[in-house]
A and B are shown apart, each in its own frame.
Chain A
Amino acid sequence: MIEILSIILSILSLVIFLNFPLNFYYFKKQYLNLKLGYADSLLLNLIIVINLFLLFSFFKVNLNYLFLIATTLSLSLIIINYKNFLFLLKKNISISLVFFVFIYSMSSVIAKTSFLEWDGLGHWIFKAQVYFQGGEYKDLKNVPQNYYPHLGSYIWAFFWKNSYLQYEYFGRIFFIFIFVTSIFSLISKLSNKFSLTEKLLVLFIIGFLSINFYLFGGYQEYLIFFSFFCYSYFKLYFSENIYLFKKSFIPEFLIILILNILLWTKQEGFFYFILLSFVFLLHGKRNSIQKFLFFSVSLSFLLIFVFIKIYYFGYLSFNEKIINNEILNNLNLFHLFEKIFLITKYFLISFIKYPIWMVIILSFFILRYKSDFLNLNKFFYTFLFLSFSLVFAVFLHTTINLEFLVPITLNRIVFAISGFYIILVVAALNSIKK
């Protein structure tokens, strides 16, 4: 019974914890014109908190104290506004209950076996152990695959350490939390022509079709999924409210924070960072000063990443050397087409494996022919082209046997990218309901 109560306590403490640093009501008072809902404030807090985690991960910081300070501050802000929060809870009791039951039910799946999958046990948990035991960034030197980014493992360790029973899987509930929060934030994007029951049903279907419990077994894909989701979610919000942010630097600031999460989560995040920076520069509809600032800060973040890697580990390393013999081998057209065929085949298999992609593809067609949504938001096309090109480039460039590599990695990449496009499902539904 204690374990069940601990799971419930962990979920509740996550909700409390993530009312900080931007308290919804304080935030609403200050920035009433920004038209942001409670779910938006949760997403914003997640983005800020994850970046703060990254900052703290380079220093020796007691995770319990950190949790205590943040939770106390968050609780104080909630208590100050308790009447408003109670009103909000009362008004949205159905959504809150479904949200909670969704997270609990998913958490029960990972708690049942407490099983860690390949990469989770192979190397991600070692990094989490370092932080759980009070280590700091330099202590990652001796763990397997030490050159892999560490942000996901730090977060895992943080919530593992700050759970009542301190079982490893409590840290992974955070990944469930960010996934469910992302999906539930879509409720405010659904047209008011949908009843609450319809909205909840849509969220359930989107969530259910996007879940892969295998990836909660210590993988980092849900953090990448979350970052992609936030990027398209807020990019769309900035495009729809362009007049509000004409002279502001908030879009630049927020997009960079989102990209920074990608950069420090997985190796491919380095390339996603570059692609998505390019997408923002191309489609951000910003003036030249804003573009220059965005470019300079993005470049600085990339350089800081490279500098930190070189400072601590002596090198910046990826799984593959950037220049290798396979580039020359690709000049053999038969070899090249054989590889392209294989990659395409597994792309199609991945789309079937993750049924949410079927819904996304259908939404693409609906939006293409029923509304001008995609014409107004061309960044969806650009990222589709760039991200899929990146996947092909990476696999065409690798020296590892593709027959082995593609089946075990491509589906995870395809899953993560779906985070970027899930919002299209909502847009398509809205266009149907018009």
Chain B
Amino acid sequence: MNKKNIIDKVYLIIFLIFIFYTFGAFENTYIILKNNYESRVLKSSGYCEKQGYGFIKKIFDTFKDVKQNLTVYNNSGFPSAMGYFYDFRQNYEVNYLILLNFEENNLAEFTKKNFSKIYQEGQCYLLKKND
């Protein structure tokens, strides 16, 4: 291997490291290795705040009679994380709804529509239609 070839290879390695560094790939790889997918989504999409991923997931895991497609109102300025859970084979749930980032005094609008609160964590609620 001549000198020019070695220099070219060194340049290439430096360039590859530079690309890695520019996109933060070293740190990103470390984060991916250290945290599993679920915890990363939870961190970025929020539990009750932001898109409410954690709260919605907990509702589906805990309340087995709640169907996968239900209406979620999110007051945080983000869309809700419902898209992660949508199941096209199921009908839309009409007996339950989820509210994210709502002040307690704003629930009146929904109680008027015959819904009542059955579960709450912070400013996030699961409402059920009264029989």
Contacts and interface: CB of A to CB of B under 8 A. Distances in A.
Contact of B28 (A101, A109, A120): A109
B12 interface: yes
B1 interface: no
Given A108-B28, A133-B89, A3 B37 contact: yes
Given A113-B44, A125-B86, A108 B16 contact: no
Nearest to A168: B84
Interface residues of B, number: 36
Contacts of A125: 83-84, 86
Contact of B23 (A106, A129, A167): A106
Contacts of A382: none
A38 interface: no
A3 B31 CA distance: 11
B88 A115 contact: no
A197 interface: yes
Interface stretch (A135-143, A300-308, A310-318): A135-143
Contacts of B19: 98, 101-102, 105, 204
Contacts of A113: 40, 43-44
A1 B86 contact: no
A122 B89 CA distance: 19
Contact of A121 (B22, B25, B28, B83): B83
Nearest to A3: B32
A97 B12 contact: yes
A142 B40 contact: no
Contact of B29 (A108, A121, A129, A208): A108
A227 to B, nearest CB: 25
B71 to A, nearest CB: 11
Contact of A126 (B20, B31, B83): B83
Given A112-B28, A112-B40, A129 B22 contact: no
Contact of A165 (B37, B45, B89): B37
Contacts of A197: 8, 11, 15
Contacts of A94: 8, 12
Contacts of A341: none
Interface residues of A, number: 41
Contact of A112 (B31, B80, B88): B31
A111 B29 CA distance: 9
A121 B78 CA distance: 9
Contacts of A118: 78-79
Nearest to A1: B33
Contacts of A114: 37, 40-41, 44
B41 to A, nearest CB: 5
A323 B84 CA distance: 36
A250 B88 CA distance: 40
Given A105-B19, A105-B25, A115-B41, 18 more contacts: A3-B36, A3-B37, A4-B29, A4-B33, A94-B8, A101-B16, A106-B23, A109-B24, A111-B28, A112-B40, A113-B44, A118-B79, A121-B80, A123-B83, A126-B86, A130-B88, A142-B92, A197-B11
Interface of A: 1, 3-4, 94, 97-98, 101-102, 104-106, 108-109, 111-116, 118, 120-123, 125-126, 129-130, 133, 135, 139, 142-143, 165, 167-168, 197, 200-201, 204, 208
13 contacts: A3-B32, A94-B8, A97-B16, A98-B19, A101-B16, A101-B19, A105-B25, A108-B28, A113-B43, A121-B81, A126-B86, A129-B87, A135-B88
Interface of B: 8, 11-12, 15-16, 19-20, 22-25, 27-29, 31-33, 36-37, 40-41, 43-45, 51, 78-81, 83-84, 86-89, 92
